[in-house]
Each structure stands twice: as C-alpha cells, then as structure tokens.
Amino acid sequence: MVRNKIPASTVRRLSHYLRSLEGFAEEGGTVSSEELAARGQTTAAQVRKDLSHFGSFGKRGLGYQVDELRDRLRQILGVDRPWRVALIGAGRVGLALFEYPAFRSRGYECVAIFDNDPEKVGQQWGDLPIHSVDDFEETIRRLQVELAILAVPAASAQEMARRAVEGGVRGILNFAPIRLNIPPSVTVEDVNLVMELEALSFAITQSERGE
Amino acid sequence: MVRNKIPASTVRRLSHYLRSLEGFAEEGGTVSSEELAARGQTTAAQVRKDLSHFGSFGKRGLGYQVDELRDRLRQILGVDRPWRVALIGAGRVGLALFEYPAFRSRGYECVAIFDNDPEKVGQQWGDLPIHSVDDFEETIRRLQVELAILAVPAASAQEMARRAVEGGVRGILNFAPIRLNIPPSVTVEDVNLVMELEALSFAITQSERGE
DNA sequence: TGTTGTGAAGTATTTCACAGCC
DNA sequence: GGCTGTGAAATACTTCACAACA
C-alpha cells in the first residue's frame, strides 16, 4: 500500500487531518478534500495526494466517510493502539508533559518515570514512583517501554538516549538541544524550543529589514 | 544581502550552526563547512549554501572564523538584541517555559505573565506578578511586548492570539494544537507535541510493517 | 453532477562539481 | 593545496488538470 518514502511534511498534515476529523461530532457524515484543506492550512490537491500514498478510500463525487477516514488515519499514524512511554527526567518540562492530558487521551501511556536526583527518587507522581536511573535499562525492558520522552539536561541526554536504546526503546522524543547519535533503527523527533523562538526572531528581523 | 525567500529548513539549520559554534570554547579559531556539517546532521555543501544567502564571510582555503561567524549568525537570527516576551497562560507548560534557563540566556526576557484564573492572578512567579487578562492589550502595549508565548487551552487560544496581535505583538510561539488565524504580518511558530509523538508512532509502525 | 485519484507540469530544495581565491 | 561560493544538475515536493466514476 505504501509505495515510497513518505515525506515528513505529509505525516504532519495527516496528524492535522486526524485532529480535524476528531472535531466532527456528526457520525456517518462525509467530508471533502476541500473541507479538510480549509481546516488544515493546505490545498485540496495536497490532501488527496497525502491520502493517496496509503490507498484510495474516498468516493468520487461524494468525498470521504468521516468515521472511516478517521479510523484509517489512526491506523496509518499507529495510534490505533496504546504506546508504552517512559519519562526520563522529572523536572519542570517532564512534569508539564506528564500532566499534559492530550498524551494519555491519544493512547500514549506513561508507565515509568526516571530521574538521577536522589531527592526525587522515591517520590510519586500520580500513582507512579520516580525511579533511580541505576537499573534503567532493565526496568524499561521489563516494562516493555516503546517510547522515551527525554527531558533531561543536554549534558546527560546522549548517555540516557544510548541507554534507552539499549533497553529496547523504538522511538525518542528529545527535548535536549543536541543531535542524538543513535542507530537508525530508532526514530528520534526533536523538540527544540530555542530554535522555534529563533525562527520567530529571524522572521521578524527579516521583515523589519525588508521594509 | 538577502536575495530571496529563505527556506524554513535553512533557518532551522542556522540555529543549529549557532548552537555548535557556542560549544567552541577556543576563541579565534576557524571552522570548515565540513566540521559544521558533521555537528549539524547535514552536508558541507548545504552549510555553504545556507550561509551564502546572507553574504560570503568565509575565507577560501581556510574556513570560517568562529567568532565572526557566531556574531554574524546572531545578527541574522535576530538574537543580537534582547526580545520582550509575554507568557500567556500560567499552567504547567507556562511554568516549564518560564523556568527554562535557555530562554533567558539567549535574550528572550519574560516581562509579563497572564492568566484568566482568578486563583492565579496576583500570585508571583520569581519577581513577576500574574496579571489578569482584563487589561491584556493595554498592558502588553505598555510593556512593549514583542513576542507572545501562547500556552493556554485550545478553546481560548484563537481569542488570546487575536488580542495579542491587537496589543502589537510581532510573533507568537503557539503551544495550542490549533491553527491560529491572524494577519500575515505576525509570525507564528507552532509547537505541537501530540503531532511529534504521532510522527514517532508513524515511523515505528511503518518500519514494523515494512520488514 | 461533483469529487476523487493521479500522471504531468511546475517549484523548491539539495547536491554536485569546479572556478576562484587564500 | 585546501576550502569557499555558486551556477548547473538532480531530487523532492506541490500544484495542476482531467479522466474515472459514484
């Protein structure tokens, strides 16, 4: 079904489409590529091209069945099943993520929290204890952790990423502002807030100079 | 100096290059496009092309002067001067961002915090009071806020974005998972954590199906 | 009729490769 | 000799436009 490599831009848009469809209360309705495009800041042709990578599940003349497309998008994005997540780093960022309701509601279930600060180890967040990093690899392997959210200082990020891979993790959401060096079989997504702010100040600076 | 539209991918890489150069302790040294590429997960040709949009500040046969390139990148990205930032939404995400040391150290200075929860209004974070949103536009205009960090629930994000624009903000870092509808003169950068996680689960699901 | 799915055309971005300069 | 800066070539992505079909 999936013919070639899917561009990252397409994956991001698929996520948007799914979000839009979840807004539709009306079950059993249909939606056109035109409507999806309007909600997703893109074009109808782009919506159709994005979806066409995964098969053809629209009806010509009618559009897409909302329920069906939503289910299909969930399958494609892999969110039709729960994911076991470990939070590495119980600081402010970790706490914000841990309490972010959207994660759990989309099937990302935090099953373990780790920190290297002896003050924090043993504390509870919700019903989860904060583990020491001593037996990190064994613990995440035992708990069958698939995704790691890496919210530790840059200095320890590479080391913890390596250990997470060692423990069998398949993907890492990395908040540390460094490029992780890990095997290509493990997927990494970087969230770099300073970079986002710099993109803002760049754009503003450019527009000021331009005019 | 800047000839055409600069791709977003280039801007992100410039931010990486700057981060790499800040790692260089040695003042007065030089760095080649090859070295920068190695640290930034890209190619030497890409580094040179990225920089060439803004002029030619390397020495053939030698490479780039570290200090000079770093200063030039700061100018280009607009981080050679402080930016006045307002934090909108004093929840967990807001707190994590407020205490994120990298922001302040790069010149993004939080000058006001807002929340619509009467329980929070009047509290202090560091030496900043949490303001009510009642006189939001006037306050940010008076404080000459240039950037807004929007960390409020999706339901109020559009409204607060509109009011921020009204108050004279030039850029918005948006954590709400919706597309803001604002005039093109104001720049928006979206940080969508669910989307990042979905990109991970997509990639993992694909690789499992492929093999 | 109305809207999809998709080759073909059009743009945008990256990579190549080499002249030009230190 | 070594490394930059940059047109030209290659590749990737988006948009067009229309046949296919419910």
pLDDT tens, position by position, B42-96: 999 999 999 999 999 999 999 999 999 999 999 999 999 999 999 999 999 999 9
- pLDDT tens, B121-162? 999 999 999 999 999 999 999 999 999 999 999 999 999 999
Write out residues 54-73 of B within 8 Å (CB-CB) of A.
none
Q: Per-residue pLDDT for A110 more than 90?
A: yes
Q: Given this model, what pLDDT does residue A2 score?
A: 65
Distance in angstroms: CA A13, C1' D17: 23
Least Cα distance to A148 among A159, A160, A156, A138 occurs for A160
Higher-confidence residue: A11 or B4? A11
State whether residue A121 sits within 8 Å of chain B by CB.
no
Give the nucleotide at minimum CA-to-C1' distance from B46: C14
Q: Given this model, what pLDDT does residue B26 score?
A: 65
Instruction: Spell out where A29-82 has E strands.
Output: 30-31, 64-65
Q: Is B28 left (phi over 0), alpha (psi -120 to 50) or beta?
A: left
Q: Given this model, what pLDDT does residue B106 score?
A: 94
Q: Given this model, what pLDDT does residue A211 score?
A: 56
State whether residue B105 sits within 8 Å of chain A by CB.
no
Average pLDDT over residues A158-177: 97
What is the share, in percent, of chain B residues with pLDDT greater than 90? 90
Average pLDDT over residues B96-116: 95
Q: What is the DSSP letter of B39?
A: H
Write out residues 72-91 of A within 8 Å (CB-CB) of B.
76-79, 83
- pLDDT tens, A19-71? 999 987 666 799 999 999 999 889 999 999 999 999 999 999 999 999 999 99
Nucleic strand D within 7 A of Cβ A3: no
Nucleic strand C within 7 A of Cβ B49: yes
User: Locate tokens 């539709």: which residue?
Assistant: A24
Average pLDDT over residues B172-184: 95
Distance in angstroms: CA A45, C1' D15: 7
Distance in angstroms (rounded) separating the CA atoms of residues A164 and A170: 9
Least Cα distance to B110 among B154, B68, B147 occurs for B147
What is the share, in percent, of chain A residues with pLDDT greater than 90? 90
Q: Per-residue pLDDT for B211 more than 60?
A: no
The separation between CA A112 and the C-alpha centre of its own chain, rounded to angstroms, equals 18
Residue of B nearest to A108 (CA): B197
Write out residues 151-180 of A within 8 Å (CB-CB) of B.
170-173, 177, 179
Nucleotides of C under 7 A from a protein CB: 1-7, 12-17, 19-22
Distance in angstroms (rounded) separating the CA atoms of residues A86 and A89: 10
DSSP-assigned beta bridge partners for residue A174: A150, A190
Q: Given this model, what pLDDT does residue B184 score?
A: 92
The helix-helix angle for A44-52 and A8-23 (nearest 10°) equals: 110
DSSP-assigned beta bridge partners for residue B59: B63
Instruction: Spell out where chain A has E strands.
Output: 30-31, 64-65, 83-88, 108-114, 124-125, 128-131, 147-150, 171-174, 187-190
Q: Per-residue pLDDT for A95 more than 80?
A: yes
Q: Is A26 exposed, middle or buried (0-12, 13-18, 19+ CB in 10 A)?
A: exposed
Distance in angstroms (rounded) separating the CA atoms of residues A106 and B197: 10
Domains and CATH numbers, chain A: 8-76 (1.10.10.10), 83-194 (3.40.50.720)
DSSP-assigned beta bridge partners for residue A65: A30
pLDDT band for position A1 (cuts 50, 70, 90): low
Q: Is B144 exposed, middle or buried (0-12, 13-18, 19+ CB in 10 A)?
A: exposed
* Residue numbers 36-75 of A with CB closer than 7 A to any atom of strand C: 44-45, 48-49, 51-52, 56-64
Give phi and psi for A83, each to the nearest 5: -120, 135
Distance in angstroms (rounded) separating the CA atoms of residues A127 and A119: 18
Chain A residues whose CB is inside 8 A of the B18 CB are 198
Q: Given this model, what pLDDT does residue B3 score?
A: 57
Helix (H, G, I), strand (E, B) or coil at A125: strand
Give the nucleotide at minimum CA-to-C1' distance from A43: D15
The separation between CA B28 and the C-alpha centre of its own chain, rounded to angstroms, equals 28
DSSP H helical ranges for chain B? 8-23, 33-40, 44-52, 66-77, 92-98, 101-105, 136-142, 154-166, 193-210
Distance in angstroms (rounded) separating the CA atoms of residues B54 and B56: 7
What single letter denotes the amino acid at residue A131? Answer: H
Q: Given this model, what pLDDT does residue A23 score?
A: 80
pLDDT band for position A4 (cuts 50, 70, 90): confident
Q: Per-residue pLDDT for A78 more than 80?
A: yes
Q: Given this model, what pLDDT does residue B23 score?
A: 80
Q: Given this model, what pLDDT does residue B4 score?
A: 74
Q: How far is A109 from chain B (nearest CA, A)?
A: 12
Mean residue pLDDT of chain B comes to 94
Question: What pTM, to 2 d.p., does this model score?
Answer: 0.94
Give the nucleotide at minimum CA-to-C1' distance from B5: C12
- pLDDT tens, A154-163? 999 999 999 9
Check CB contact under 8 Å for A77 and B202: yes
B101: tokens are: 């040391």
Distance in angstroms: CA B187, C1' C11: 23
Mean residue pLDDT of chain A comes to 94
What is the share, in percent, of chain B residues with pLDDT greater than 70? 96
pLDDT band for position B28 (cuts 50, 70, 90): confident
A83: tokens are: 């994911």
